[in-house]
Amino acid sequence: MNQGDPTLTKTEQRAQNALVRGDWQAAAQLLRKAATMAEARHDPRRAVHCEQMAAALFRAAGSLDEALAAAQRIAQRDPTSPQARFAAQAETAEALMAAGDHAKAAAAWRVALLEAETLRLPAWACATVMRRLAAALAYSHAQDDAWAMLDAAAELQRGTQQEADAAWIDVEQAQLAQSVGNIERARLAVHRPRVQLAAATDPALRAECWRTVAECALAEGDYNLARIEAQRARDAALTAIAPVTYFGATVALARAAETQGDRATCYRTLATAWVTLADLLGEPVAQTWVEPVLQAYRLAWGPAAFDAVRAEHDRVRRAARRGA
């Protein structure tokens, strides 16, 4: 790698500065420029690296056409490199998934998987590609193929140091099945013996299992069960210090309560989560996560009704403090 080229290094540094500022579009454009400069200086590995980062940042910025174009340039930067071909297919697939073209994404993931096998990537890396392929298949109405692919990905982890990941992949399958409306498959996957065995000693996995069951119960209209399982998931997530799972369980619990007309519990659940997440992640992150959910309920209930629920919540809290 030609680290001694001051112009190229400066361009990469400008891209890094733009990324720190949160200007992903500018960072991507600078990295695309750096890739062209590296290619001109006969440094294909550096060119591929910059172009791959540009593709990912264009995608993150929502510029999907530019992301696809950058993904296609990755292999062009180093045509003889199997690593470049793999990266090109993976980035193409991710951009297509972001665009909602899951059938074409699945085709790209299949090619990426072949490249991964050619490169003899480790089991966890191949399993990651297979999981993304499964998601594309599920959303392109090829569910049986998706479940088979996830089962194969889980099997790759067995007998390796990542064997426990097989249970996580099963839960991922359950959540994917639930998201596409296949509740029967979701329940089957989440209740597999290896999942239950692993969850007995892993509170984070246990929380995800219960959150998944809660989401299934919501989908089927069993709001009592949804509330029970969501609360169990919240408690387990706190034990595991798993804020993302905690928030997901909170949203499920609030939704179940609101559907049953229990607006007080709905609001209290979200208000409590705001405080808890602020302790775990800081106030700005907690606000970013919880405030949009509260605003959605404010719009649904109407400002007057929402403010009344909030006022009653605050009154009860003040009374509890005086009693303590």
The pLDDT assigned to 2 comes to: 45
Q: What is the mean pLDDT of residues 80-99?
A: 95
Which of 98, 105, 5, 87 is closest to 51 using CA atoms? 87
Whether the predicted pLDDT of 161 surpasses 60: no
> Is residue 217 a contact partner of residue 226, using CB atoms and an 8 Å limit?
yes
Whether the predicted pLDDT of 85 surpasses 70: yes
- For residue 192, how far is the Cα from the chain centroid? 23
Counting residues of the chain whose pLDDT is more than 90, the rounded percentage is 86
Tokens of 282: 């800081």
Query: DSSP class of residue 78?
Result: S
- For residue 92, how far is the Cα from the chain centroid? 18
Q: Report yes or no on whether pTM surpasses 0.75.
A: yes
Alpha helices (H) in the chain, listed in sequence order: 6-21, 24-40, 44-60, 64-77, 82-98, 102-118, 123-139, 143-157, 165-179, 183-190, 193-199, 203-219, 223-240, 243-259, 263-281, 283-301, 303-323
In whole angstroms, give the CA distance from residue 84 to residue 115.
Answer: 10
Whether the predicted pLDDT of 145 surpasses 80: yes
Residue 319: which pLDDT band, with cuts at 50, 70 and 90? Answer: confident
Q: Which residues of 77-97 are buried (b: 16+ CB within 10 A; e: fewer)?
A: bbeebebbbbbbbbbbbbbbb
> Is residue 109 a contact partner of residue 129, using CB atoms and an 8 Å limit?
yes
Whether the predicted pLDDT of 159 surpasses 80: no
The pLDDT assigned to 63 comes to: 94
The pLDDT assigned to 64 comes to: 94
In whole angstroms, give the CA distance from residue 23 to residue 11.
Answer: 15
Q: What is the mean pLDDT of residues 177-205?
A: 94
In whole angstroms, give the CA distance from residue 89 to residue 260.
Answer: 46
Q: Which CATH architecture has domain 9-121?
A: Alpha Horseshoe (1.25)
> Is residue 98 a contact partner of residue 59, using CB atoms and an 8 Å limit?
yes
The domain limits of the chain are 9-121, 123-217, 241-324
The pLDDT assigned to 1 comes to: 41
- DSSP states of 111-167: HHHHHHHHTT--HHHHHHHHHHHHHHHHHTT-HHHHHHHHHHHHHHHTTSTTTTHHH
pLDDT digits (tens, 9 = 90+) for 216-250: 999 999 999 999 999 999 999 999 999 999 999 99
- Angle between the 44-60 and 6-21 helix axes, to the nearest 10 degrees? 20
In whole angstroms, give the CA distance from residue 139 to residue 192.
Answer: 23
The pLDDT assigned to 133 comes to: 97
pLDDT digits (tens, 9 = 90+) for 204-215: 999 999 999 999
